[in-house]
């Protein structure tokens, strides 16, 4: 096990941006920037014994803060907070007080607002090479940041095991009641040649999904996947039943006991022999097939477009802060927020 801390040569404000490499005994490598805790590389060995990088991103850090990239910003590989997905009209009420967030996605607030956790330089609080290669990042989100209430302290630990498991452990506490819904937004492609992901085989352990309005805001209604294009309870190719124009951009309610660490999804690419298994304590997995992705000069100069990747974003129910019958997403001062998500890669 190895941990390497590498300077990028960039500063944002008065904070230096580093890449932290986690390497296991098999040679699997994960590289994470402390800016947005962006997973920049996830290099694994496929069934042919060849190493390949399974996440989209850039060769250089500077591209992540490039103005052209940010114009059609897809949150490549970044943490999302304080609140993942969309909050209807950017509005919520906590303890009788009304809050108005930025409307950065039509009339709604997306992924925490104009400058969410994805655009913060996190502090590196610790690294370790035993029992796993690991790094812990921390961000203090002050009261009023993006107009959320309360000082929120967030820790995010990444651990890489010898079983090719990347474990993400989140923890947060607050001094004032505040909504919180964290996730990570890595874009995966398991193909050796970076082909479109339509022929990836996908299974999602969810018998229901969340109804969305025309701007993808969750309404509060639960719908069965049976007899719909959203049924991935049995493994099938992503493109088998999808809308050829829109693909998938949908929140699935996982079949599980609330809070237990269980398998959310499994995605396989036959040529590489790679499978990505996603485990989570969270009740929802948002499945996105990158319809709106438009990135120039990605890794090795590649352009990324629609359906070039998939995301499995584990989280609580989107917009739950406005839907009382959904699981609670308001963290109280006496509580501790925790979440665990595991990306496990196998080759066969």
Please give the positions annotated as active site.
Answer: 185, 313
**Residue 191: both structure tokens together:** 């193909």
Q: How far, CA to CA in Å, does 177 sit from each of 92, 150, 173, 333?
A: 12, 7, 10, 6
Q: What is the rounded distance in angstroms from the CA atom of residue 132 to the CA atom of residue 303?
A: 34
CB 277 within 8 A of CB 266: yes
Cβ distance 204 to 181 under 8 Å? no
Neighbours of 14 (CB within 10 A): 6
Asked if 323 contacts 186 with a C-beta cutoff of 8 angstroms, the reply is: no
Q: Is the dihedral of CA 91, 148, 86, 333 positive or negative?
A: negative
Distance CA(111)–CA(305), nearest Å, equals 21
Residue 164 backbone dihedrals phi, psi, to 5 degrees: 55, 40
Residues 39, 60 contacting (CB under 8 angstroms): no
Strands 86-87 and 201-204, how do they pair? unpaired
């Amino acid at each position: 096990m190895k941990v390497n801390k590498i300077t990028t040569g960039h500063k944002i404000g008065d904070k230096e941006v580093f890449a932290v490499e986690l390497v296991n005994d098999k040679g699997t490598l994960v590289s994470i920037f402390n800016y947005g805790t962006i997973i920049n590389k996830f290099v694994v060995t496929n069934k042919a014994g060849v190493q390949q990088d399974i996440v989209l991103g850039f060769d250089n850090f500077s591209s992540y803060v490039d103005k052209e990239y940010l114009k059609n910003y897809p949150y490549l590989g970044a943490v999302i907070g304080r609140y993942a997905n969309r909050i209807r009209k950017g509005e919520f009420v906590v303890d009788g007080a009304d809050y108005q967030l930025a409307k950065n996605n039509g009339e709604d607030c997306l992924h925490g607002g104009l400058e969410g956790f994805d655009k913060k330089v996190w502090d590196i609080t610790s690294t370790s090479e035993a029992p796993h290669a690991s790094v812990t990042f921390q961000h203090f989100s002050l009261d009023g940041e993006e107009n959320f209430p309360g000082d929120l302290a967030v820790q995010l630990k990444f651990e890489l095991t010898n079983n090719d498991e990347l474990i993400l452990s989140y923890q947060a506490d607050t001094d004032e009641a505040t909504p919180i819904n964290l996730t990570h937004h890595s874009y995966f492609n398991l193909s050796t040649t970076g082909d479109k992901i339509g022929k990836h085989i996908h299974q999602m352990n969810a018998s229901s999904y969340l109804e969305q309005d025309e701007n993808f805001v969750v309404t509060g209604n639960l719908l069965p996947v049976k007899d719909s294009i959203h049924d991935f309870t049995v493994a099938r190719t992503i493109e088998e039943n999808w809308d050829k124009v829109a693909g998938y951009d949908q929140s699935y309610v996982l079949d599980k006991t609330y809070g237990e660490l269980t398998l959310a999804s499994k995605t396989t690419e036959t040529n590489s022999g790679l499978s990505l298994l996603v485990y989570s304590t969270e009740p929802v997995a948002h499945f996105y097939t990158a319809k709106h992705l438009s990135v120039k000069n990605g890794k090795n100069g590649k352009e990324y477009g629609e359906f070039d990747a998939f995301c499995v974003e584990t989280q609580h129910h989107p917009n739950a802060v406005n839907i009382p019958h959904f699981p609670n997403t308001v963290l109280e001062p006496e509580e501790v927020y925790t979440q665990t998500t595991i990306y496990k890669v196998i080759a066969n």
